[in-house]
Structure formats: structure tokens, C-alpha cells
Amino acid sequence: MMGMPEIDLRKKSVIYRQESPWVKYILIAVTVLFLALFLLLPLVAIFMKAFEKGMYVYMASITHPDAVSAIKLTLLVAIISVPLNALFGICAAWAISKYQFKGKNILITLIDIPFAVSPVIAGLVFILLFGSSGLFGEFLFDSGIKIVFALPGIVLATLFVTFPFVARELIPLMQAQGTAEEEASLILGAGGFKTFWRITLPNIKWGLLYGIILCNARAVGEFGAVSVVSGHIRGLTNTMPLHIEILYNEYQFSAAFAVASIMSLIAIMTLIVKNLIEWKSGYRSTKAG
């Protein structure tokens, strides 16, 4: 009698082991096929199209003053808006996860607005606020401050569109971690800043990094909102996506894809950096353990 259940169990596990490889291979095959069709193929196409007319055209396209200016502007916008949104995101996630207050759910909903609203509308909002006939238009014109059709407008639109990424990544993480470690740190005599630096930040660093990477990808790639506020001034307010669109509309396909290949490279590099950091930290913690 004692041996019976054991035999049953082994039979079951044999059946289970016979079945699983097929399921495994099918799932892997479907995933790989899908990725190849929808991600790898377009990526290869971009680079093929970019080099279609040879290295000379490629280099000329990406070193053209307008292209260089677009690349610089895009990077500048990302460098300004990503750290700001990382900061805002940490603040928002901290407020929501560590404190109890009224209207918390409304705040969470507000954070999601940029996801729900079309980027074009986001851009229009800034035109309505800061444009020449907008709410603050007269005041801005009188004091000589340019927001719309200039760098500040592009940064504002990018900030708006990329706001939720870091906050959305951190809120569930910080809610799951709770406040006990921070409380322990405070009771042990550490101040607020030391507690944040030594306890909170190390605990959220992966979520934060992931949020920053998503935020950066969107900041570099944002088209709609930026298109509305930028004014498409070549060499001045054109970001990379806008520059690509202009080139494409002017039938300069190779040039358009050459700039697109630079954007793709930035994206690939971000992913590599993310994996590098993850791999390095993973290596460290297994070594410690």
C-alpha cells in the first residue's frame, strides 16, 4: 500500500516530461518567428535601405548640417527630460506608495493621462497655453520668452508624453516593498537623505533603470506631440523623427533611412547598456552569495 502512490507519481511525471518538450519548442518557435517577422525584418530593412546608395550617400546624409542639428536637438531634449522625469517619477511613486492621503487614486489616474491622451492633443495643449494667441501668449511675447516653436516647447511636450514611464514602473515595486526598511533606517538614526540614498535607491534601482530606459526611448522617438510644438524649422527645431519625416516626404529615402538607422542604433545601444548593467550586477550578487 505504501508504495502505490509513489508509482503513480512517477508515471505521471513521465507523461508530463514527454509532453512538455513539444509545448516548449512550439512556444519558442512561435515567439522567434513573430520576433523575426515584426522586429528583426524591419530593423534589417532600415539598414539595407540606408546603405542602398552606398557608404558615401549614407555618410553625407548623417553628416548633413540639418541631420547633425536634429541629432543634437534630440539628444539634448532627452538629456533634459529623462532626468527630470526620473526625479518626478521617484517623487510621485514615493508619495503614492509611502504615504496615506485622500485623493490618492485620482493622483494615480492623473499620472496615466499622458498614456490615455493622444500625443497630438498633448502638443496642442502647449500651443493653446504658450502659443502667440494662447493663454500666456501675450505675456511671453512681451517678455521675449520663446516656448512654442523652440527648445522649451519641445522639452515640455516630451516631458508630458514621457512622464508616466518611471512613475508607473516604480509605484507597484515600491508598494510591494513597503516602508519597513525605511522605518528601520530612521529608527537606527539615519536621516531622510541617507535613508533614501542607502536604502530606498538601491532597492528600486532596477525598476528605476528600466523606467528610465523606456522613458529615454520614448523621448528620443516621440513624434506627434513634438511635431505640433516644434514648427519644423530645419536646423533649429527639427528632432530626428521630424527630420526623418521631412526627408521621406521629399523622396530622399536613403537619407531618411540613414537617420532612421542612427535612431535604431541609439535604441539598440540603450538595450545593450541595460543588459550590461543587469549582467554585471547579477554577476556580483551571485559571487557574493
Q: Which is nearer to other proteins, 42 or 178 (CB)?
A: 178
Q: How many Å apart are CA 62 and CA 59, to the nearest integer?
A: 5
Residue choice 37, 48, 184, 271 for contact with other proteins (CB under 8 A): 184
**Torsion angles phi and psi, residue 51, rounded to 5:** -95, 10
Considering only residues 40 through 99, tell me which ones interact with other proteins, judged by CB under 8 A. none
- Binding part of the chain for other proteins, among 38-46, 186-194, 209-217, 253-261 by CB under 8 A, reads 186-194
Grid cell in block for residue 151: 527648445
Q: Rule CB under 8 A: is residue 285 a binding residue for other proteins?
A: yes
Establish if 186 lies at the interface with other proteins (CB under 8 A).
yes
Please identify, among the stretches 62-70, 106-114, 195-203, 244-252, the one whose residues bind other proteins according to the rule CB under 8 A.
195-203
| Region near other proteins per CB under 8 A, out of 89-97, 125-133, 159-167, 184-192 | 184-192
**CB 107 → other proteins: shortest distance, Å?**
18
Q: Got the DSSP string for 76-116?
A: HHHHHHHHHHHHHHHHHHHHHHH---TTHHHHHHHHHHHHH
**Could you give the C-alpha distances from 178 to 141, 170, 173, 193, in angstroms and in order?**
48, 12, 9, 18
- Return the exposure string of 63-78: e unless at least 16 CB atoms fall within 10 Å of the residue's CB, then b: ebebbebbbebbeebb
> Applying CB under 8 A, does 288 fall inside the site for other proteins?
yes
Q: State the Cα–Cα distance between residues 233 and 61, nearest whole angstrom.
A: 18
Nearest CA-CA partner of 95 in 175, 182, 36, 2:
175
Q: 107 or 128: whose CB is closer to other proteins?
A: 107
Q: Looking at 72, 194, 234, 284, which residue binds other proteins (CB under 8 A)? A: 194
Asked if 7 is part of the footprint of other proteins (rule: CB under 8 A), the reply reads: no
Full DSSP string of 31-86: HHHHHIIIIIHHHHHHHHHHTTTHHHHHHHHHHSHHHHHHHHHHHHHHHHHHHHHH
**CB closer to other proteins, 18 vs 105:** 105
Interacting residues with other proteins between 197 and 226 (CB under 8 A): 198-199, 202-203
State the minimum distance, in angstroms, from the CB of residue 277 to other proteins: 15
Binding site for other proteins (CB under 8 A): 180-181, 183-191, 194, 198-199, 202-203, 285, 288-289
